[in-house]
Structure 1
Amino acid sequence: MKKLVLLFAAGVLLLGACADPSITEESQKESTSSDQSESNTKKVENEEKQEPEQPFKPLEPSEDAVSLKESLSEKEQQEIPEMQAALGGNPERTVPAGETLAEGVKDPSDGPLKDHRLVAYYGTPDSENMGILGEMEPEEYMKKLKEQTQAYSDADPDRPAVPTIELITTMAQSEPGPDGDYVRMTSEENIETYVELAEKHDALVLLDIQLGMDTVMEQVKMVEKWLKHPHVHLAIDTEFHVAEEEKPGEDLGQVDGKEIQKAVEYVSGLTEKNDLPDKIVLVHQFTGDVLTNKDVIQPTDNVEVAINFDGWGASADKQALYGKYIRDEPKQYGAFKIFYDKDVPVLEPEDVLKMDPSPAIVNYQ
Structure 2
Amino acid sequence: MKKSVALILGVFLILLLAACSDNNADQEENNGKEENSNTEENAAPEPEDKEKPEDKEPAQPYKALKPAEDAKPLEQKLTQQELENMPDAEAHGSDPARMVPVGQTLVKGAEDQTNGPLKNHRIVAYYGHPNSENMGILGEMGKDELMKKLKEQTQAYSDADPERPAVPMIELISTVAQRDPGPEGHYYHRTPPELIDEYADLAKENDALLMLDVQLGTDSVLHQVKLLEEWLKLPYVHLAIDTEFHVAEGETPGVDLGGVDGAEVQEAVEYLTDLVEENDLPDKMIVVHQFIDDAITNKSAIRPSEHVQVTLNYDGWGDASTKKSLYRKFVRNEAVQYGGFKIFYKKDEPIMTPEEVLKLDPNPAIVNYQ
TM class by smaller structure: 0.7 to 0.9
Which of 196, 212, 236 is equivalent to 2:217? Answer: 212
1:303 is the counterpart of 2:308: yes
Shift of 1:46: 5.1
Residue aligning to 2:58: 52
Residue aligning to 1:335: 340
Q: Which runs of 5+ in 1 are unaligned?
A: 1-18
Alignment of 1:318-329 (within 5 A): 318-329=323-334
1:351 is the counterpart of 2:356: yes
Q: Which amino acid is the alignment partner of residue 341 of structure 2?
A: F
1:39 is the counterpart of 2:47: yes
Q: Which amino acid is the alignment partner of residue 62 of structure 1?
A: A
Give per-residue Cα distances to partners, 1:193-222, cap 9 Å, x unaligned: 111111111111111011101110000000
1:81 is the counterpart of 2:81: no
Does structure 2 retain, via aligned residues, the 8 Å contact 1:59–1:160?
A: yes
Flag the structure with more relative contact order, 1 or 2, with Cα contacts below 8 A and sequence separation at least 6. 1
Whole-Å separation in 2 of the counterparts to 1:160 and 1:228: 25
Does structure 1 retain, via aligned residues, the 8 Å contact 2:58–2:280?
A: no
Whole-Å separation in 2 of the counterparts to 1:151 and 1:283: 24
Structure 1 residue runs of 4 or more that deviate by more than 4 Å after TM superposition = 24-34, 45-48, 89-94
Alignment of 1:53-72 (within 5 A): 53-72=59-78
Of 24-33 and 123-132, deviating more is 24-33
Whole-Å separation in 1 of the counterparts to 2:54 and 2:41: 24
Residue aligning to 1:228: 233
Shift of 1:54: 1.4
Alignment partner of 1:141: what SS?
helix
Shift of 1:30: 5.2
Shift of 1:287: 1.3
Which of 259, 264, 276 is equivalent to 2:264? Answer: 259
Say what the alpha-carbon RMSD is for the aligned residues. Answer: 2.4
Structure 1 residues 212 and 23: alpha-carbon distance in aligned structure 2, compared to 1, 3 A threshold: farther
Alignment partner of 1:122: what SS?
strand
Give per-residue Cα distances to partners, 1:147-170, cap 9 Å, x unaligned: 000000000001000001101000
Whole-Å separation in 2 of the counterparts to 1:363 and 1:320: 18
Residue aligning to 1:178: 183
Structure 1 residues 91 and 315: alpha-carbon distance in aligned structure 2, compared to 1, 3 A threshold: farther
Which has the larger Rg?
2
1:21 is the counterpart of 2:30: yes
Whole-Å separation in 1 of the counterparts to 2:351 and 2:57: 39
Q: Which amino acid is the alignment partner of residue 357 of structure 2?
A: V
1:154 is the counterpart of 2:122: no
Whole-Å separation in 1 of the counterparts to 2:356 and 2:299: 27
Aligned residues: 340
Does structure 2 retain, via aligned residues, the 8 Å contact 1:81–1:91?
A: no
Give per-residue Cα distances to partners, 1:104-125, cap 9 Å, x unaligned: 2111111110110000000111
Task: Indicate the percent of aligned positions where both proteins have the same amino acid.
Answer: 56
Whole-Å separation in 2 of the counterparts to 1:173 and 1:209: 12
Does structure 2 retain, via aligned residues, the 8 Å contact 1:126–1:186?
A: no
**TM-score (norm. length: structure 2):** 0.86
Residue aligning to 2:148: 143
Whole-Å separation in 1 of the counterparts to 2:143 and 2:85: 39
Structure 1 residues 20 and 117: alpha-carbon distance in aligned structure 2, compared to 1, 3 A threshold: farther
**TM-score (norm. length: structure 1):** 0.87
Shift of 1:53: 2.3
Shift of 1:52: 2.8
Shift of 1:127: 1.0
Give per-residue Cα distances to partners, 1:8-43, cap 9 Å, x unaligned: xxxxxxxxxxx963745555555666635x639x65
